[in-house]
Amino acid sequence: MQCFQIFLGLARNFFKATNLCKSLYMLSLKSHYQYKQSSSVPVDYTAGNVYNLQKIYEDLNDKLFQGSLKLKIGWFGRQKSRTGNSLVLGCFHEEEQLVRIHRSLDRRDVPLFFVEYVIYHEIIHSLVPREYSSSGRTMFHGKKFKEYERRFPMYEHAIAWEKENAFLLLRGYKLVGKEDGRT
């Protein structure tokens, strides 16, 4: 089951929006928390061509969480959407305590602070319990989650960069595997 399918119902509200609006919206749904489901997508634990996820995770863990986290982290490759206008930048798998980051972020034109933000965002999923709306729907990014997320030192900068560079992220997603032979 692809991570973003959890949010497919929410995305239906945006069918009448422009392609750029849909792309930005789907990028904002980059993190999809999978409960009680193991990862069916292969995970690559090696250092990337540009970024070493393990080192970034360890640095964030030491600086922001006093080394208290015990998570695994790795890359995952292409994950096509039905529309081609969305991209899952990361996922957290509760059962495996696994953070997966999309390989399209392993590029020089994606700044380190943004990769750190995506990793931090996924880490928060491991710390903040699920919240539920008054109708009983699971809210993956509820008030408490957003409160924690805003604690990221470069939060505003990362969000602004993501909005300004949605085209770059989607373009990079389409190029993953073509330049370096990896998927």
Residue 46 lies in a domain: yes
Residue 183 lies in a domain: no
Residue 146 lies in a domain: yes
Domain encompassing residue 106: 21-175
Residue 62 lies in a domain: yes
For the whole model, what pTM was predicted? 0.70
Place of tokens 């990793």: 119
Residue 139 lies in a domain: yes
Identify which of 110, 91, 103, 120 has the alpha carbon closest to the alpha carbon of residue 167: 110
Residue 3 and residue 15: Cα distance in Å, rounded?
A: 19
Residue 182 and residue 23: Cα distance in Å, rounded?
A: 24
Total number of domains in the chain: 1
Residue 107 and residue 176: Cα distance in Å, rounded?
A: 10
Cα angle 159-165-170, degrees, rounded to a multiple of 5: 115
pLDDT in tens, the chain (183 residues): 344 444 444 444 454 455 554 444 444 444 444 443 455 667 877 888 999 999 999 999 999 999 999 999 999 875 444 455 667 899 999 889 999 999 989 999 999 999 999 999 999 999 998 788 888 888 788 889 999 999 999 999 999 999 999 888 876 554 444 444 333
Per-residue DSSP letter, 44:
B
CATH number where 163 lies: 3.30.2010.10
Residue 65 lies in a domain: yes
Residue 110 lies in a domain: yes
